[in-house]
Amino acid sequence: MRFIKRWLGWSVLALAMLQAVLIGRIAMMAVVDPQSTTFERSQAWQLATEDRLRWRQQWRDYGQISDHLKRAVIASEDDAFVNHEGVAWDAIEQAWERNAKAQAEAERRAEQNKPVRPIKIRGGSTITQQLAKNLLLSGERTMLRKGQELVLTFALEQLLTKQRILEIYLNHVEWGEGVFGAEAAARHYFNKSAASLTAWESARLAVMLPRPRYFEKKPQSGYLKHRANVIVSRMRSAELP
């Protein structure tokens, strides 16, 4: 019994120290631009092991990124970004309900021996949650990792401004295989700087975000074109930090 208590005590202490280290790293990001994220490093390692490593990324300050792109990403990914405290609970609940309905429909079709399409899982994550996940965490999907994501999400919201969160997000989000950040994406897809992106170009990039490597291979996708037009129409109402 004494051994178990001692083990639990050391485990709690180790967990607390880990939180302190991670939160300390977030605090430093208020003044220090992060050079890479855990997700980027894992992708680079994967590509390197497959002998096809390519890496495109170049940091751009907030003012050097087109406002069109900022508005497009907010309109597409998190339209309440400037107003929530890191987590959009309503969006998570709605995503959970949609996923449950999709799963039930798939099971019903399977029982009737009808073709079943792959289920598109919806997340409901905010921009801050996405940044917390990619910045410091592994890609595993467990309740423990999800809890860690929430801790880091609230730390980001408390220690950084909304503008800084969006700036780091736009500089590190994936936009294709080995393509990270707004500047790399603008050069890769439109051969121009992130500052020069038009409204429609920005909307097209924003629409790619949930599945960037998939859409990179399907540049003529009808969905991309249609969805980009929808996002353009929503961009005027997107509030910037």
Q: pLDDT tens digit string along 50-105?
A: 777 778 899 999 999 999 999 999 999 999 999 988 776 665 555 555 655 555 55
pLDDT at 15: 60
Higher pLDDT, 204 or 140: 204
Q: Do 160 and 62 reside in the same domain of the chain?
A: yes
- Tell me: do 97 and 83 sit in the same domain: no
**Mean pLDDT value across the chain:** 82
**Same domain (yes/no): 111, 43:** no
Quote the crossing angle between the two packed helices 182-190 and 199-208, to the nearest 10°: 110
Residue 80 and residue 192 in one domain: yes
| Same-domain status, 179 and 155 | yes
- Same domain for 131 and 171: yes
Strand partners, 174: 180
Task: Tell whether 30 and 141 lie within a shared domain.
Answer: yes
- Which of 123, 145, 174 terminates a domain? The answer is 123
If one counts the domains in the chain, the total is 2
Are 93 and 37 part of one and the same domain?
Answer: no
C-alpha torsion angle, residues 185, 190, 192, 195 (rounded to 10): -60
Domain limit, last residue, from 75, 105, 123: 123
The residue range of the domain holding 63 is 2-48+55-87+125-237
Is the domain of 213 the same as that of 189? yes
Dist. CA 46–CA 137, nearest whole Å: 16
pLDDT for position 124: 57
Residues 106 and 214 in one domain: no
Question: Using CB atoms within 10 A of its CB, is residue 180 exposed (0-12), middle (13-18) or buried (19+)?
Answer: buried
Closest CA to 150 of 32, 37, 22: 22
In contact, 54 and 193? CB cutoff 8 Å = no
pLDDT tens for residues 166-210? 999 999 999 999 999 999 999 999 999 999 999 999 999 999 998
Which residues are bridge partners to 180 per DSSP? 174
The residue type found at 141 is: R
Both 99 and 131 in one domain: the answer is no
CATH number of domain containing 228:
1.10.3810.10
Are residues 43 and 108 located together in one domain of the fold? no
Structure tokens at 28: 């430093």
